[in-house]
Amino acid sequence: MKGKKVIILVVVMLAAFSYLLLIGMKEGSMYYLEVSEYLARARELGNRKVRVNGRVVKESLDFNTKTLTLRFILKDTKGNESLPVVYHGSPPDLLNQDGVTAVAEGHYDLKNNVFIARQLLVKCPSKYERKDKGV
């Protein structure tokens, strides 16, 4: 009798652990796409959380200090596609630099045609990148 209870307890614990592991993996996994890739799949992805990488259009930066709302445009790093983004919170320090690329994590609001970013990561331009000097 005692052996059956232990086996049942172990099975229940394994099932609970497997369930938690599955939920954690589902929450932790998300797509990482360029702007053009994301726009091509926006309807398919729906309201799923994704990470979108692109170049910040410096002229489009608009920060409302009262509502802490940042609006800007992410442009594809290779093409001409662009994605309007809204982020609520303090803007990252490096955002005002020229040629900055950023990763916006969030979802697309189909009704308002805007990407709602819950997190915004700015990539630092590397001082170690090779500069072409027209050799």
In a domain, 63, yes or no: yes
Torsion of CA 61, 64, 70, 73, to 10 degrees: -30
In a domain, 36, yes or no: yes
In a domain, 50, yes or no: yes
Owner of token pair 């599955």: 22
In a domain, 98, yes or no: yes
Q: Are 87 and 109 in contact (CB under 8 A)?
A: no
In a domain, 38, yes or no: yes
Exposed/middle/buried for 85, CB within 10 Å: 0-12, 13-18, 19+? buried
To the question of pTM greater than 0.75 for the whole model, the response is: no
In a domain, 22, yes or no: no
What is the predicted pLDDT for the residue at 4?
Answer: 83
The residue with greater pLDDT, 33 or 99, is 33
Domain count, the chain: 1
The residue with greater pLDDT, 66 or 94, is 66
In whole angstroms, give the CA distance from residue 74 to residue 34: 10
Convert the pLDDT of each residue in 44-65 to its tens digit: 888 888 999 999 999 999 999 9
User: Using 50, 70 and 90 to split pLDDT, how confident is the model at 134?
Assistant: low
CATH of the domain at 44: 2.40.50.140
What is the predicted pLDDT for the residue at 53?
Answer: 94
What is the predicted pLDDT for the residue at 94?
Answer: 84
Task: Find the domain containing 64 and state its range.
Answer: 31-123
Q: Are 52 and 34 in contact (CB under 8 A)?
A: yes
> What 8-state DSSP symbol labels residue 7?
H
Residues sharing a CB contact under 8 Å with residue 82, sequence separation 6 or more, in sequence order = 35, 54, 57, 73, 74, 75, 76
Question: How far from chain centre, in Å, is Cα 12?
Answer: 36
In a domain, 113, yes or no: yes
